[in-house]
Amino acid sequence: MKKFKITVEDKTYKIAAERDAADPSLMRLSVDGKAHTVRIEEEEAPQRSSGPRPAATPPPRSGGGGGGGGKIIAQLPGTVLSIDVSEGDSVSAGDKVLVIEAMKMENIITTEVGGAVLAVHVKEGDKVEAGQELVEIA
């Protein structure tokens, strides 16, 4: 649960907020200790998924056969919280690669391709921009 202090018209409130895992449009809030459930309507609806959201679509494979490769690209600006792979590691599609905090949420970044980690272009604590290459997989 994320905790915040907000000020509205010079009055400060202590807020704790957490999205409902089963229905991302619902959020449980505690405002100065009083519990509420609210429905969030965003301009772009949250995506429901059964697992972590991949960070990037791998580039198209060329020619006939052989393993593909991929570059994992940051989709949002944020801060790298943890890195779960090192150069030379072998990964499979769906493996957790790193965690980025973006928009006050932890985002688990996974790979869509299997192969060997060629390069890790970030380190823990780095600020990243949308479109920045994070990890390269061969």
Q: Is the pLDDT of residue 49 over 60?
A: no
Residue 45 has pLDDT above 70, yes or no: no
Judge if 84 and 129 occupy the same domain: yes
| pLDDT score at 67 | 38
Residue 61 forms part of a structural domain: no
Question: Could you tell me the pTM of the whole model?
Answer: 0.51
Please give the backbone phi and psi of residue 13, each rounded to the nearest 5 degrees, phi first. Answer: -125, 145
Task: Write down the pLDDT at residue 47.
Answer: 52
Whether residue 91 lies inside any domain: the answer is yes
Is 64 a residue whose pLDDT tops 80?
no
The domain total for the chain is 2
Statement to judge: residues 83 and 127 lie in one domain: yes
Where residue 131 sits, what CATH number does that domain have?
Answer: 2.40.50.100
Determine the structural domain holding residue 86 and report its residue range: 70-137
Whether the per-residue pLDDT at 54 is higher than 50: the answer is: no
22-38 pLDDT, tens digit each: 777 788 888 888 888 88
With tokens 């769906």, the residue in question is 94
